[in-house]
Structure 1
């Protein structure tokens, strides 16, 4: 089974983190990593970063966190916009096949 890629958004709460949203990405590993590289945020949490983006590889029901970004709210909004824009591009502009 081919792996699939997801970006999971978690919000920091007093108990740790709570999942807020999940995007299933179109495309392969390289497209997922390239998209995640475009996202704003830091690789390490700070006191002001309340939102965490995790890039997951899911294969045979096993999830592996490939990369993580910690953001503030305004960066999180921009990141969601970037994820949707890139997913739309991959799904609608990918060649369907030879004619």
Structure 2
């Protein structure tokens, strides 16, 4: 089974953490890391944070959380734009 990379978006509610979006960002580790590094946010977590981006790897069916950031609502919008733009570029203009 091929290694897969995802970015998930999680919202902290009064009950629990709830994942509500998941981007498949491909099988290329280098490209996936490059995309995640472009995202806006912070690695400093506090109780006030409610939005998280998790960088996940699925290898042999098992998930591994590589990295995460927390962000504001405005950064969430910017990050979704970044991910969409980078996936569009890689799928349409870069050779596999």
Give the TM-score taking structure 1 as reference length: 0.90
Q: Which runs of 4+ in 1 moved over 3 A?
A: none
Q: Structure 1 unaligned runs (5+)?
A: none
How far is 1:47 from its partner?
A: 4.2
* Helix, strand or coil at the partner of 2:84: helix
Q: How many Å separate the matches in 1 of 2:16 and 2:70?
A: 14
Say what the alpha-carbon RMSD is for the aligned residues. 1.3
Partner of 1:17: 17
Higher gyration radius (CA): 1
Partner of 1:83: 83
Q: Structure 2 unaligned runs (5+)?
A: none
Q: Deviation string for 1:29-64 (max 9, x for gaps)?
A: 011111100001111223443100000000121000
Aligned length: 96
